[in-house]
Amino acid sequence: MTKILLTRPLEASRQLARQLDAAGLAAIVMPMYTFAAREPRIDFDSTWLDDNQRKLAVFTSPRAVEFGLQHLPENQLDTIEFAVVGAATRARLESAGQQVHIQAGSGFTSEDLLQEPELAANPGDALVFCAPGGRRALADGLVELGWKVRRAMVYERVDLRPEPEQVEAIMGAHELLSVWTSISALKLAQKYLPEEAWKRILGAPALVISNRIQHYLKQLGASRVELAEGPGNPDLLDSLLRLTGGRGAD
């Protein structure tokens, strides 16, 4: 039986696991981290005081919307332009009743968003919602385009250690295929998993959502690293069915 190791946050992993089960594939759900709200330490009322400047709020993930949107003053929402990284973030923001003004025409990375011509014209004040240490490249890129940028760190990652039954499932899988949607998850897996379980992962095929993760995983010693069709669960499901032929058993 082929086992698919899922390492993204719990809700997303469980959703994908149910879809895999319906297709006859078994999943090992092993999220490497969760998220918690964080005090951003920013006076949002004074962030955009100059009415003559463009006001830009950049949301970098669905979690950024979940933990960050509530901080924006309601009396300023109509004057703020909203930019997003990725379709899932757009959907989360629109479900909260906000219009998305800027999104990358293709791709789902900070670099893709920075290519949008709307960001190069008449830059003003930008606020990037993210986690500590996140989206430095995006903030730096906006500065290079002329924006005055502040980062609102409204949530933080909380590490999760693998449980013994998860390690046993990895070691007991006749065939293993792992899925990685962040380098952070890879670093935590390497840190917390027993050496033999980590070696088993590196020796098995892997599916990743970006060239950056693919390169990083290959540097760690993995040799069979496939690039998914996109970052969302529907894309991951399609890629996993393609890689396995839609079969859970040998």
Reported as a single tens digit per residue, the pLDDT across 61-118 is 899 999 999 999 888 888 999 999 888 899 999 999 999 999 988 777 888 899 999 9
Q: What angle do CA 186, 192, 196 make, to 5 degrees?
A: 90
Structure confidence at residue 43 (pLDDT): 85
Distance CA(240)–CA(101), nearest Å, equals: 33
| Predicted structure pTM score | 0.77
Q: Is 60 exceeded by the pLDDT of residue 247?
A: no
State percent of the chain over pLDDT 70: 98
Q: Looking at residue 231, what DSSP letter applies?
A: S
Q: Is 60 exceeded by the pLDDT of residue 248?
A: no
Distance CA(90)–CA(95), nearest Å, equals: 8
Structure confidence at residue 87 (pLDDT): 85
Q: Is 50 exceeded by the pLDDT of residue 132?
A: yes
Average pLDDT rounded to a whole number, residues 19-24: 94
Average pLDDT rounded to a whole number, residues 158-169: 97
* In the chain, beta strands by DSSP E: 2-6, 26-29, 33-37, 55-59, 81-84, 102-103, 125-130, 148-153, 155-159, 175-180, 206-208, 225-227
Q: What angle do CA 216, 244, 12 make, to 5 degrees?
A: 60
Helices 183-192, 195-203: axis angle to 10 degrees equals 140
Residue 108 phi, psi dihedral angles, 5° rounding? -145, 30
Distance CA(129)–CA(63), nearest Å, equals: 9
CB of 208 within 8 A of CB of 235? no
Structure confidence at residue 249 (pLDDT): 41
